[in-house]
Homo-oligomer: A and B are copies of this chain.
Amino acid sequence: MTVPKPDFVSIDTPAVLVDLDIVHRNIQRFQSYADAHLLKVRPHIKTHKLPAIAAMQLAAGAVGITCQKVSEAEAMVAADSEIRDVLISYNILGSAKLARLRVLARKVRLSVVADNLVVVNGLSAAFENEPQALRVLVECNTGADRCGVASPEAAVALARQIVAAPKLVFGGLMTYPPVGGAAAVQAFMTRTKALLADAGIEVPVVSSGGSPSMMTAANAPVTTEYRPGTYVYNDRSLVAHGLCGWEDCALTVLSTVVSVPAPNRAIIDAGSKTLTSDLLGLSGYGQVLERPDIAIDQLSEEHGRLISAGPIGLSVGDKLRIVPNHACVVTNMVDAVHVLEHGELIGLWPVVARGKTA
């Protein structure tokens, strides 16, 4: 099938484009892997922040969604009544957030995580007068050294405190492992499950995540649920990890060449306010599609600098599509994305969960 090129001339730049055909393919690819390995999929919506794409993930077989913050979950649930099962993979603290969490818990099957007793006690107190208990998973550090209890023994101690806390239910174990951390996940979670079994505590869910390692998720067979985020769009970092090709990148930034001030230099109208300064270990700030010879070596807020070894061969007014280093953070920079399907522009979708940090 030949797909006609959409009319990019009509789109004011910089603009974030999302190709739904590629999104469909990306969702299906991981869902098939997960189905083959009896893994449940609970996609992290931080990558798209779009209820319509969450609906596509659920339709493909996802058991629910993952959000990072209460405000993000609120926005997603408010916009789409199809979302009925939400994990907020974050320590939730403070009266404002806890009050909103209570409201959310009345609307969906809600789970949260905790890695310390202050959070557990706060959750328990907040749900004191609620009809339903709140599901709390213990976040475990399997080597990423971000949040998470440090050892299986500490996980068991916190799980016991969740079991003992009024209005809380122990929901299982959760981790965000380092890239290639399947062996560490397997070791930590197996040991923790054994200790919990000794204590008579069942582990309903072992949840792991991260798109870079998703196609080896089954190497930690203790895992029951996986939370991929970036996979839905892919990006330059996942191409660098060998997870996909450029043709699998559903999110691109359309930009215009505004200046060609030297033979090997051009300036585009997408800078750090669109592409962001995220490097994820890469060199440069994105990949110009069909121009592997060009590097985006410097960003200001509204300028992207393109350089090439030889003549750059661009003219003022040319439009370029760029695959960003990190799709998730680009989504968060714009109020809306331009959506393509079958080569046609089909709409401008508001990014309803953009900027939700609370």
Contact = CB atoms under 8 A, between A and B. Distances in A.
Interface string A44-74: 0010000000000000000000001100000
A116 to B, nearest CB: 5
Contacts of A14: 357-358
Interface stretch (A123-131, A189-197, A254-262): A254-262
A279 interface: yes
Contacts of A277: 276-279, 329
A147 B357 CA distance: 34
Interface string A269-280: 110111011110
Q: For A96, A269, A315, which residue has the most chain B Cβ atoms within 10 angstroms?
A: A269
B46 A118 contact: no
A132 interface: no
Interface residues of A, number: 58
A316 B118 contact: yes
**How many copies of this protein are present in the complex?**
2
Contact of A317 (B93, B273, B302, B329): B93
A147 B301 contact: no
A94 B357 CA distance: 34
Contact of A272 (B91, B267, B298, B329): B329
A210 to B, nearest CB: 11
Given A69-B302, A301-B68, A335-B355, A259 B115 contact: yes
B358 A148 contact: no
A276 B276 contact: yes
B146 A267 contact: yes
Given A93-B317, A278-B277, A332 B12 contact: no
Interface in A239-254: none
12 contacts: A90-B258, A90-B302, A94-B317, A115-B261, A118-B317, A146-B261, A148-B259, A150-B261, A272-B278, A273-B332, A276-B276, A277-B278
A333 interface: yes
Contacts of A94: 12-13, 256, 317
A203 interface: no
Interface string A294-337: 00001011110100000000011100000000001100111100
A97 interface: yes
A227 interface: no
A141 B305 CA distance: 14
Interface in A121-152: 141, 145-150
A97 B278 CA distance: 28
